[in-house]
């Protein structure tokens, strides 16, 4: 079953671009990554799903029901962590969490305390006095306390220290094991890579690719660094599949996507001093192969 | 109900301060009632030197300040002003709260419809206003009673005009807050708008242009006029209710259609 399904979802803010023809389907039980640079339209898509803004055209459905018409009912089963967290300043953490819990049916109050313990959150402090990272933790507990069937995370890790990020990822994985579907939006590929099974890549309002995260890795992107004695043309390595090429007399470095034999044949004739072939980071793959596609 | 309770809790401190402000204003004015009543001829002699327009503007042309209830009616104009500002400010505040404190994402991603949100928030404002009027009726009755006896029904007519005028201003506040995308500060706006309407009433009274009387609630519920006729003007009461209803409906619609874009 599709937990999230959007068809040609479009949002324009006046003449400004929001998102254009976004079609996604997220299956039950998966952790779906949603990645793209800041301002690409990740938050706009999420806000449309939550009914915070209305689409200009297209459709969005969650649990098979229309996001606008059945918004309140759908949201009963959604947990949302916004990218920037702000809460009523004059409340204590526990007051806010109880207020949040009061919107949902049958919330297990003990769960608030359990989640707060995992995230190392002091429940009795005033929200006003909390650091950004601690407010983020409030956001996490607030988003998970009602055991939502769909968890929507918009840049969830900013402001969390690495240890807390780890706890948070474990928490999300645990919720996922219990059956929750997760939409994870981020501009950091590394964290999406850690958690997600599939990822949609959005750029300038359009989905440019939807990939299986393992396939993305297995596409054989390599980073080459070569030192040699020969004199070669600057264009010697500039063949199809090469990106981010930098050359100097006696050395070259580039990313390569394609048949390795083809590159090895090129290198074979050279008098090599040094050769390294590395796994590139997803950031590099993204930057050099997706940036160019639109 | 949870939103209603939460909003009412957040409104309570300011409701208490503003209600106290009204009572203090009444008390201070009532302190000068005995000397005024004792020498009403002297006062009128002084006032006679003022231009008629000015006396009209202050609501002093028809009131006999020696009578305690008419003195109360004179003071009540200022209570109406305070009450109007409070109503407008509260309505603006509760409905723009999310945009100002950036809690939109928290509240609107909850499983509630926007209709429920507006109803709960505005309901909390109306509750505060209602409690304020009840408080004011009780305490001002006791205060004014100290200075003399009067017709209770006329007293109620005067005092109950507060909640009706507040209905108008809270409806206007609801409408504006729903319409405007982000509101930085609420009180200056409320003050400006209320004093704008009050100014129209001053001009209306000094110029005697009847048409102006239809566009400001300060004319619908002018205490001096209520004393003069011993009753409300039914047409104006209905106009007040209708305009408020239209504003509320328009406010609900605007809030329903609003895009809550990222902050």
User: Among partner residues A52, A73, A102, which is closest to B109 by beta-carbon distance?
Assistant: A52
CA distance A211 to A221: 15
Residues constituting chain A: 294
What's the token pair of residue A7?
């068809």
In this predicted model, which residue has the larger pLDDT, B192 or A13? B192
In angstroms, rounded to a whole number, what is the distance separating the alpha carbons of residues A275 and A294? 33
Separation CA A215–CA B256 (nearest Å): 43
Burial annotation A95-133 (CB, 10 A radius, 16+ → b, else e): bbbbbbbebbeebeeebbbebbebbebebeeebeebeee
Query: What Cα–Cα distance (Å) separates residue B35 from each residue in B32, B46, B168, B220?
Result: 6, 14, 36, 31
- Please classify residue B149 by burial: count the beta carbons closer than 10 Å to its beta carbon, then call 0-12 exposed, 13-18 middle and 19+ buried: exposed
- Flag if A100 and B106 touch (Cβ within 8 Å): yes
Q: Which residue of B has its CA nearest to A41?
A: B262
pLDDT digits (tens, 9 = 90+) for B130-178: 999 999 999 999 998 888 888 889 999 999 999 999 999 999 999 999 9
For chain A, say whether B210 makes contact (Cβ under 8 Å).
no
B105 touches chain A (CB under 8 A): yes
Instruction: Give the residue among A168, A70, A157 at the shortest CA–CA distance from A119.
Output: A168
- B182 interfaces chain A, CB cutoff of 8 Å: no
Chain A's closest residue to B115, CA to CA, is A72
Across the interface, which of B103, B111, B259 has its CB nearest the CB of A87?
B103
CA distances from B108 to A38, A60, A71, B114, B176 (A): 23, 17, 10, 8, 19
Question: CB contact, 8 Å: B106 with chain A?
Answer: yes
Residues B207-255 pLDDT 10s: 776 777 788 888 888 888 888 888 898 999 999 999 999 999 999 999 9
Torsion of CA A114, A120, A122, A126, to 10 degrees: -110
The mean pLDDT of B185-196, rounded to a whole number, is 90
Pair B81, B58: CB distance under 8 Å: no
For residue range A36-93, what is the model confidence (pLDDT) as tens digits? Answer: 877 788 889 999 999 999 999 999 999 999 988 898 999 999 999 987 777 787 889 9
* pLDDT tens track for A229-261: 888 887 888 888 888 888 888 888 998 888 888
Q: Would the CB atoms of A82 and B106 count as touching at under 8 Å? A: yes
Model confidence pLDDT, tens digit, residues A15-50: 778 888 999 999 999 999 998 877 788 889 999 999
| Contact call for A88 and B110, based on CB within 8 A | no
Residues from chain A contacting residue B261 (CB–CB below 8 Å): 13, 44, 47, 52-53
- Cα–Cα distance for residue pair A182/A197, rounded to 1 Å: 10
- The secondary structure element, H or E, covering residue A275 is strand A272-278
Contact call for residues A86 and B106 (beta carbons, < 8 A): yes
Segment A195-211 mean pLDDT: 85
CB–CB contact A99 B6 (8 Å) = yes
Name every chain B residue with its beta carbon within 8 A of the beta carbon of A88: 10, 101, 103
- How many Å apart are CA B136 and CA B22, to the nearest integer? 8
């Amino acid at each position: 079953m599709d937990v999230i399904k959007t068809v040609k979802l479009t949002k324009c803010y006046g003449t400004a671009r929001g998102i254009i023809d976004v079609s996604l389907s997220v299956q039950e039980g998966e952790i779906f990554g949603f990645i793209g640079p800041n301002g690409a339209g990740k938050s706009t898509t999420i806000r449309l799903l939550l009914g915070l803004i209305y689409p200009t055209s297209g459709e969005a459905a969650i649990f098979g029901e229309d996001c606008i018409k059945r918004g309140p009912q759908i949201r009963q089963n959604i947990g949302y962590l916004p990218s920037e967290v702000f809460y009523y300043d004059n409340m204590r953490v526990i007051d806010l969490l109880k207020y949040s819990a009061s919107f949902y049916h049958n919330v297990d109050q003990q769960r608030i305390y359990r989640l707060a313990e995992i995230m190392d959150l002091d429940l009795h402090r005033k929200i006003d006095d909390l650091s950004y990272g601690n407010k983020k933790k409030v956001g996490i507990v607030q988003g998970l306390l009602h055991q939502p069937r769909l968890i929507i995370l918009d840049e969830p890790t900013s402001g969390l220290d690495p240890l807390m990020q780890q706890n948070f990822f474990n928490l999300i994985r645990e919720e996922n094991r219990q059956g929750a579907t997760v939409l994870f939006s981020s501009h950091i590929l590394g964290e999406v890579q850690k958690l997600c099974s599939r990822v949609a890549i959005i750029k300038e309002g359009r989905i440019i690719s939807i990939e299986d995260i393992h396939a993305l890795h297995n596409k054989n992107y390599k980073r080459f660094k070569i030192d040699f004695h020969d004199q070669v043309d600057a264009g010697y390595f500039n063949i199809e599949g090469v990106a981010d090429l930098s050359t100097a007399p006696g050395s070259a470095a580039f990313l390569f996507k394609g048949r390795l034999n083809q590159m090895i044949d090129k290198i074979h004739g050279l008098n090599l001093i040094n050769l390294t072939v590395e796994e590139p980071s997803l950031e590099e793959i993204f930057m050099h192969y997706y940036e160019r596609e639109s | 109900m949870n939103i209603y309770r939460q909003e009412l809790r957040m409104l309570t401190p300011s409701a208490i301060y503003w209600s106290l402000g009204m009572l203090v204003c009444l008390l201070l004015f009532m302190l000068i009632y005995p000397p005024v009543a004792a020498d009403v001829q002297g006062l009128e002699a002084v006032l006679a030197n003022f231009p008629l327009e000015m006396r009209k503007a202050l609501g002093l042309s028809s009131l006999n300040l020696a009578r305690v209830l008419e003195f109360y009616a004179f003071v009540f104009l200022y209570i109406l002003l305070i009450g109007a500002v409070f109503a407008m400010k509260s309505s603006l505040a509760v409905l723009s709260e999310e945009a100002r404190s950036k809690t939109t994402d928290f509240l609107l991603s909850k499983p509630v419809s926007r209709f429920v949100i507006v109803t709960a928030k505005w309901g909390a404002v109306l509750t505060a206003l209602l409690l304020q009027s009840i408080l004011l009726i009780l305490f001002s009755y006791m205060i004014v009673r100290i200075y003399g006896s009067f017709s209770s029904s006329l007293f109620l007519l005067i005092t109950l005009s507060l909640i009706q005028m507040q209905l108008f201003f809270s409806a206007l506040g609801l409408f504006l807050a729903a319409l405007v995308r982000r509101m930085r500060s609420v009180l200056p706006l409320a003050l400006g708008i209320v004093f704008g309407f009050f100014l129209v009433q001053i001009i209306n009274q000094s110029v005697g242009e009847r048409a102006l009387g239809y566009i400001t609630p300060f004319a619908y519920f002018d205490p001096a006029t209520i004393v003069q006729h011993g009753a409300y003007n039914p047409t104006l009461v209905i106009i007040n209710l209708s305009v408020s209803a239209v504003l509320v409906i328009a406010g609900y619609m605007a809030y329903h259609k609003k895009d809550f874009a990222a902050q």
